Amino acid sequence: MPKLLQVDFPFTGPFGEEMTKALQGLAESITQEPGFIWKIWTENESLKEAGGIYLFESEATAQAYLEMHSARLKELGVPEVRGRIYDVNADLSKITQAAAMLGS
């Protein structure tokens, strides 16, 4: 069963187009992670936060990615990484237009 992973953390930038340029290599590498399906990148410059919403094939692959990504961010000086894993209610999500994102 697919699992949704929500991650956010303090981030001082870059944001917007500069973030896109700076993190393109990271984005490409994320697509190679085991169990990865998709990611929506999130950023809020006024709150100085960033993160993402991910879909993974299983809880095990979501948890493994969260652990690896949290360690990577902490090595880069991010003091706190918040991550939560959720079940996806595919039937209700399809009603609210998420079918394409769920691969259905």
Q: Is 51 exposed, middle or buried (0-12, 13-18, 19+ CB in 10 A)?
A: buried
Domains contained in the chain, CATH given:
3-95 (3.30.70.100)
- 95 pLDDT more than 70: yes
pLDDT, tens digit, 9 for 90 and up, residues 42-58: 999 999 999 999 999 99
Sign of CA dihedral 18, 19, 24, 26: positive
Q: Which residue has the tokens 């961010």?
A: 73
Distances (CA, A) of 61 to 2, 65, 75, 85: 10, 6, 21, 11
User: What DSSP designation does 32 have?
Assistant: T
- 59 pLDDT more than 80: yes
